[in-house]
Every structure is written in structure tokens, then in C-alpha cells.
């Protein structure tokens, strides 16, 4: 799929749409690339079938495009994302007068079977953190100690706060309010939320901040976590760390940082937290997204039913 295959009018539209997503809606570069990539796919399809440019698109064209995507192996989640991208784009283009009408207004996308990825049990999460703490105790060199304290603090924060790896990497020193055990997080779309931290996470952060100066260089600025070269930590480094830590726990699934986010939400619900509180902690804009976790807590609900219902 090459952008060179589409016309200059479509290229200009995509560039303006990307600016809208980035500057007006505050979406991440990754999300902007996903949107524009899907729309490039649409315009390449139209160029190949000879159905004209963006101003000539009909609802039938959009349905044919999605049908072709399905025929070539795209799963339902991908089709849903591309349909949503088309609806967003054409609504914006019509609203701003760039296109005469919105052909995607009635475009429907397939339902997605939303299954929660595998998560880890409470004892497995404890084993991961205990293993990282043991590595801190085994460190013999000052720089090695600093790196291992950082690793422990990052994983403690990921599990305690349920934040995304990109949010963790973007944390700055002023975002930590240790006195009130709170962390200020900048989430998707530039939305800010405050999440609490438990005693183990705060203790790990104290240990890391005491030695942060051994690794931090001027390029780190106010970054809370820095890499071995002294700049802000790279999310890829955090992902590798979590994969390694989980690999050391018997029977633990091979999950990345997002698996710790799933685990935090699941363990909170199993412990009795209400759904709206979990929604706020995770930074979900819709409660429907958080409800995905409720089926994991079926055992807890079953136990509560059996204990409380007179005819259980």
C-alpha cells in the first residue's frame, strides 16, 4: 500500500485530517498513524477499482472496501477500527466543508467478540515483584543497584496504578505526590487523571529516587524514569523488562506491561472495588470498556451469591 498511488487531493485531505487528530483532538502519533494508514488503504482501493477520489465515495464503496478487507484476512477487530476511522474522517471532512457530504454516516462495523487477554494471578504478581526485589538485594555495583531499583519501581508502579507503558514513560518528577501517595498521569487524548499508590510502590520509588542521579543525564530533564544512557526511559525497554520478569515465574502467561494493567483491574474487582472507581483509575472514557473485566470476577460474584442468597 503506497501513498503515491492516491491523488494529490486525497494526500492533502489526509495531511489536514492528521493535523486535526494531533492538534485538535490531542491523539497520540501512534493513533494518528493508524487512522491515516486505514484511510490510505481506502483511497488506494478506490484508485485500483477506478471509483474516483474522496469526493466521489459512496456508502456502497465503503462497504465494498470493508468486504475486500475481510476477504483478504482482516479480522473483525481490524474491520471495526477501519470502519470507525472512515466514519470519523468523513464526518470531519463534511463538517469542515472539505467534502460535500458524509457517505459513512450509515456505515456499520461488525461486532467484535471482546475477550479479555489472559492475566496473572495475585500470587504470580507478587512473585514477579519479589523476584525484582531480590535482584536489587543481589546488586554489587552502584550503577547496577540504581538500574535494578529503577526496574523494581517501574513494575511496582505499573501494577499498583494500572497505567499504560506510554504513561509510565511520560511521567515527570512533579507528577509524584509522595506525601499524599498520589500520581498524576497524562493519558490518551491529553486527559489527566490522578491515581493512588500503595506502600510497596512508594517504597520502591523512594529507593529509586535516592539513586536516580547515578543514571540521569541532562537529556533526562524532569523524567521520573531514565534509561541506562541517562535519557527518558524508552517504552520498549519497559516492555522487555516486564516480559523477562514474567518469564521467571512458573506458569505465568507471557504478558507485557498491558498485562499488568489487566491484572490490576481484575484484582481490584475481585477484591470488591466498584466498576466506576476502576474506570476512573484506568482512565477509560466509557464504562463499557471497563465492563470487559467483570466476567473475570465471576468466581467472586458466585461466592457472594452462595453466601448471601437464601436459596443458593
pLDDT score at 305:
61
Which is catalytic among the residues 148, 150, 212, 261?
A: 261
What is the value of pTM for the model shown? 0.64
Q: Which of 87, 148, 164, 212 is catalytic?
A: 164
Q: Is the pLDDT of residue 223 over 90?
A: yes
Sheet holding 176-177, edge to edge: 176-177, 182-186, 192-196
Q: What is the pLDDT of residue 16?
A: 94
CA 74 from centre of chain: 21
> Given a cut of 60, is residue 112 above it in pLDDT?
no
Tens of pLDDT, residue by residue over 162-211, are: 898 999 999 999 999 988 889 999 887 778 888 889 999 999 999 999 99
Q: Does residue 295 have a pLDDT over 70?
A: no
Mean pLDDT of 132-150: 95
The end-to-end CA distance of the chain, in Å, is 58
Q: Which of 23, 106, 20, 17 has the alpha carbon at shortest distance from 54? A: 17
Q: 194 - beta bridge partners? A: 184
Is 191 among the residues known to form the active site?
no
Residues 6+ apart with CB under 8 A from 162: 195, 260, 261, 264, 265, 268, 281, 282
| Catalytic (active site) residue 243 | no
Of 280 and 173, the structure prediction assigns the larger pLDDT to 173
- Residue 132 has, within 13 A of its CA and on its CB side, a CA count of 29
Asked if residues 278 and 269 have their Cβ atoms less than 8 Å apart, the reply is yes
CA dist 174 and 194 (Å) reads 13
Q: Which percentage of the chain shows pLDDT scores above 90?
A: 41
Task: Determine contact, residues 175/184, Cβ cutoff 8 Å.
Answer: yes
Residue 52 has a pLDDT of 64
Band of residue 111 on the pLDDT scale cut at 50, 70, 90 = low
- Choose, from 45, 87, 267, 284, the residue flagged as catalytic: 284
- Catalytic-labelled residue, pool 188, 214, 243, 300: 188
More confident residue, 225 or 2: 225
Quote the pLDDT of residue 54.
80
Active site residue 159: no
CA distances to 106, 127, 132, 240 from 255, in Å: 38, 14, 16, 10
User: Which band of pLDDT confidence, cut at 50, 70 and 90, is reported for residue 19?
Assistant: very high
The rounded radius of gyration (Å) of the Cα atoms in the chain is: 23
Length of the chain: 312
pLDDT of residue 71: 82
CA-based nearest residue to 92, from 188, 190, 16, 191: 16
Which pLDDT does position 264 carry in this prediction? 87
pLDDT of 1 > 50? The answer is no
Beta partners for residue 186, in sequence order: 192
What mean pLDDT is predicted for residues 283-307?
A: 61
Query: Looking up cell 460474584, which residue turns up?
Result: 301
Homologous superfamily in CATH for domain 122-305: Intergrase catalytic core (1.10.443.10)
Cell numbers for 299: 468466581
Neighbours of 10 (CB within 10 A): 21
Q: Which residue has the cell 526485589?
A: 133
How far is residue 41 from each of residues 5, 48, 67, 306, measured CA to CA in Å? Answer: 10, 11, 13, 53
| Residue 293 bears catalytic tag | yes
- For the chain, the average pLDDT equals 85
* Residue 225 per-residue DSSP state: S
Is residue 69 scored above 80 in pLDDT?
yes
Give the pLDDT score at 222: 96
- How would DSSP label each residue in 94-143? HHTTSSS--TTTT---------PPP---HHHHHHHHHHHHHHHHH--SHH
Amino acid at each position: 500500500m503506497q501513498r503515491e498511488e492516491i491523488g494529490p487531493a486525497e494526500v492533502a485531505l489526509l495531511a489536514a485530517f492528521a493535523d486535526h487528530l494531533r492538534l485538535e483532538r490531542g491523539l497520540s502519533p501512534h493513533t494518528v498513524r493508524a487512522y491515516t494508514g486505514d484511510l490510505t488503504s481506502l483511497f488506494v482501493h478506490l484508485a485500483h477499482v477506478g471509483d474516483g477520489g474522496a469526493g466521489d465515495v459512496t456508502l456502497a464503496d465503503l462497504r465494498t472496501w470493508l468486504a475486500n478487507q475481510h476477504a483478504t484476512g482482516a479480522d473483525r477487530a481490524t474491520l471495526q477500527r477501519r470502519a470507525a476511522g472512515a466514519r470519523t474522517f468523513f464526518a470531519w471532512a463534511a463538517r469542515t466543508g472539505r467534502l460535500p457530504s458524509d457517505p459513512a454516516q450509515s456505515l456499520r462495523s461488525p461486532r467484535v467478540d471482546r475477550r479479555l487477554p489472559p492475566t496473572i494471578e495475585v500470587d504470580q504478581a507478587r512473585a514477579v515483584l519479589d523476584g525484582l526485589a531480590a535482584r536489587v538485594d543481589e546488586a554489587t555495583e552502584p550503577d547496577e543497584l540504581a538500574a535494578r531499583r529503577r526496574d523494581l519501581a517501574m513494575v511496582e508502579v505499573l501494577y499498583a496504578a494500572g497505567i499504560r507503558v506510554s504513561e509510565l514513560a511520560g511521567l515527570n518528577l512533579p507528577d509524584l505526590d509522595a506525601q499524599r501517595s498520589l500520581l498524576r498521569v497524562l493519558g490518551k487524548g491529553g486527559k489527566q487523571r490522578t491515581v493512588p499508590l500503595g506502600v510497596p510502590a512508594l517504597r520502591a520509588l523512594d529507593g529509586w529516587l535516592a539513586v536516580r542521579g547515578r543514571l540521569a543525564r541532562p537529556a533526562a530533564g524532569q523524567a521520573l524514569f531514565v534509561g541506562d544512557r541517562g535519557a527518558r526511559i524508552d517504552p520498549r525497554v519497559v516492555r522487555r523488562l516486564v516480559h523477562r520478569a514474567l518469564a521467571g515465574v512458573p506458569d505465568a502467561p507471557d504478558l507485557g506491561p498491558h498485562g499488568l494493567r489487566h491484572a490490576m483491574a481484575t484484582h481490584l474487582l475481585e477484591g470488591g472495588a466498584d466498576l466506576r472507581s476502576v474506570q476512573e483509575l484506568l482512565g477509560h472514557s466509557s464504562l463499557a470498556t471497563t465492563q470487559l473485566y467483570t466476567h473475570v470476577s465471576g468466581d467472586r460474584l458466585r461466592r457472594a451469591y452462595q453466601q448471601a442468597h437464601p436459596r443458593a
